[in-house]
Structure 1
Amino acid sequence: MTPRAFRPLYCGIAFALSLAAAAEAVCSDVDPALPRYAPAKVEIARTEPWLTNDGAIRIVGYNDMRDMFDAFVARYVAAHPGSTFRLELTGTRAAPPALAANTSALAPMGAEFTPDQLAEYRQASQATDPVEFRVAHASLDPRALSGPLAVFVHADNPLRSLTLAQLAQVFSGKATHWRDLGVQGDWANRPIHLYTMEPDTPLALSFYGRVLGTTSPAKPFAQFHQSRDTIDRIGTDPLGIGFAAAMRVTDKVRLLALAAKPGATPVLPTEADIRAGRYPLDRWLLIYARLPLSAFAREFLILVLSREGQQAIADTPQHYLPLSAEEAAHERAKLR
């Protein structure tokens, strides 16, 4: 399968500096080492709770996965004639309760189950915790709803990079002045102003879990529900620092390059570094499934994790990023 000649991509350093500098470019679509989809016969009992009255396979979940699911379904139906689907992709929040009630065959989501969602799932389903499959990397395209996490400072701030350990110092309140992060000169003694997402948002849960672990976050100057609002506020405060979705960057702020550990090379959230696994605050699109896996869930996920499935992801107008062959193999191993 040959890649399209042009597509809206945000590749390389230009994106990290400013969306205005991003240009259309040619980038590879999918890893050629991904396996081709080899359909297998699937028997679905008519008593499955996730079948509708007319026998359609019901899937409830994330609205920004609509385009890829339309493509998955078309490929699945071509391989399994007579299959029909009812896609109710209204949002991530709808997926966990539908999966818990077993009224959705799968749960497509733009973020991990929150602790509250998992507790509610356990109570409602009385079943083993669902299995999580990463099916795509988050997007750098402003049209997407799910992007990788990024850390922002004001455009005038001289800071260029941080380690995750330094981030933990900042967001736990242990680093209070820019000198604590190695900044020298006039900025050294200036205070750090923290701006964050609201603590129950998927971005905040992901950021705090990966950066702070069990350490309590410091009280911020302000917190916001949307990435755009967080970034707009940092853009008005030269002393501000905060986290939000990478693709919401503006010319008023700067993305910081991040290093997973001291001594590692700091990297920006570029397509190349995300797909190579070098960027430490990547996020993923997910599909959750009940255990034990149904024959349908297994077959559908084999398709999603195949070359054809990952090509469908690469072709989305939101430009979600496909998995590598190694990443897809790791997820397929969960199907055994």
Structure 2
Amino acid sequence: MRRCPAARLTALLLAGTVLVSSFPASATIIDDRYKPYRAVSDVTGDLRIEGSPALRKYVLLWSEALMATYKGVRAASRFDGDAPAAAALTDGDIDIAAMSREMNSAEEGRFRDAHGYAPTEVRVGVDVLTVFVNKDNPLDCLPMSKLRDAFSAPSVTWGDLGATGNWAAKPVLRLGYRPGSSEAGFFAAKVMDGQSFASDMKTFDKSSEVVDRIGKDEGAIGYAPVGYRTGREKSLRLSTDDGKCILANQMNAYRRDFPITRFLYMYVDKAPDTPLSPPVREFFTYAFSLDGQKDAALAGYYPLPYVYSGQEIERLGLKRLD
């Protein structure tokens, strides 16, 4: 994964004046070096996107903005998962594969065998899963090893996780997502170290349902995208091997300090020295505009750092808006 040293990224991120936008109940910062999108002429055609449910909001917001701007653009999308999207891009059935992970070597190899060149990878945003507990919970920080125990051990009390007094004997109510969901897979990859989720974990389809239940049950613990805070719960800081407690916030996500952080990706079939089709070109031009990054915040994710967006624009053969 391409990375920028933390100190340099911090300086680059804070180099310009920033614009404050809003998650459902928290604030995010959008670098105002991003410029508003400007419509161009003669953009028509179909735009076919398939991918992970994790990028559903991105895809819908950006494609709907494109269709509202260009009446001759028809966008269609489906969200059956990462692997089907990679296969569909290789087969030429779609224009964009929206993925919650990087293509693996087998997927990229099949694309190379079919086309003679690699798919073009584009980072479009930063996703963070926050560990939430009820606002009355006395814990503030949890080691990653205890977080794994909280979701895998057969029976866990809050005393096992470090709480004392009246909280020590309280059972832990584990909340998560249905098996096969993008959120469950992301959390398992970052936290579970190969262990299975406990059989008594209650699962939900929507992040709002997870967070709502945490706010109502003082013994609950769960995880959800950072944008779903409501004020009836609180985020736990997480500590890794060095013992430092890290809060889930925008800067820690950009530095990759918070352990449950990932980039979100889109892949396109771009032959060398061949321009993108007008609908695909304007989809990404909008995505890397101020308007597109506001949509990213509305979708519950952190915008892509401005310095990274320049790399993606160059990779796509596009020009930065001015």
TM-score of the pair, normalised by structure 2: 0.66
Percent identical among aligned pairs is 23
Deviations 1:170-195 (A, max 9, x none): 22217722222222222123332212
Distance 1:26 1:252 in 2: 20
Kept after mapping to 2: 8 A contact 1:310/1:323: no
**What SS is found at the alignment partner of 1:180?**
coil
Structure 1: stretches of 5+ with no match in the other structure: 35-53, 78-83, 139-147
Alignment-derived partner of residue 47 in structure 1: none
**What SS is found at the alignment partner of 2:139?**
coil
Distance 2:149 2:314 in 1: 36
Alignment-derived partner of residue 289 in structure 1: 268
Distance 2:215 2:287 in 1: 41
Say yes or no: does 1:89 pair with 2:89: no
Distance 2:285 2:77 in 1: 22
Distance 1:194 1:26 in 2: 28
Distance 1:301 1:263 in 2: 45
Distance 1:291 1:328 in 2: 18
Distance 1:255 1:152 in 2: 5
Alignment-derived partner of residue 272 in structure 1: 251
Kept after mapping to 1: 8 A contact 2:176/2:202: yes
Number of paired residues? 284
Structure having the larger proportion of residues in strand:
2
Say yes or no: does 1:322 pair with 2:264: no
Distance 1:262 1:174 in 2: 27
Shift of residue 262 of structure 1? 3.7
**What SS is found at the alignment partner of 1:233?**
helix
Question: Measured at CA, do residues 124 and 302 of structure 1 come closer, stay the same or move farther in structure 2, by a change above 3 Å?
Answer: closer
Letter in 1 for 2:124: V
Distance 1:157 1:215 in 2: 26
Over aligned residue pairs, what C-alpha RMSD do you find?
Answer: 4.7
Deviations 1:201-247 (A, max 9, x none): 11001101111132222223421122222223333332221222332
Alignment-derived partner of residue 200 in structure 2: 220
**What SS is found at the alignment partner of 2:22?**
coil
Alignment-derived partner of residue 89 in structure 2: 99
Shift of residue 127 of structure 1? 4.9
Alignment-derived partner of residue 122 in structure 2: 133
Alignment-derived partner of residue 144 in structure 1: none
Distance 1:281 1:26 in 2: 18
Question: Measured at CA, do residues 302 and 169 of structure 1 come closer, stay the same or move farther in structure 2, by a change above 3 Å?
Answer: farther
TM-score of the pair, normalised by structure 1: 0.64
Say yes or no: does 1:195 pair with 2:175: yes
Alignment-derived partner of residue 151 in structure 1: 131
Question: Measured at CA, do residues 273 and 281 of structure 1 come closer, stay the same or move farther in structure 2, by a change above 3 Å?
Answer: same
Alignment-derived partner of residue 143 in structure 1: none
Kept after mapping to 1: 8 A contact 2:66/2:282: yes
Letter in 1 for 2:22: L
Letter in 1 for 2:76: E
Alignment-derived partner of residue 41 in structure 1: none
Letter in 2 for 1:29: D
Structure 2: stretches of 5+ with no match in the other structure: 1-15, 35-42, 318-322
**What SS is found at the alignment partner of 2:183?**
helix
Letter in 2 for 1:196: G
Shift of residue 58 of structure 1? 3.2
Distance 2:64 2:172 in 1: 46
Letter in 2 for 1:8: S
**What SS is found at the alignment partner of 2:31?**
coil
Shift of residue 155 of structure 1? 2.2
Letter in 1 for 2:75: L
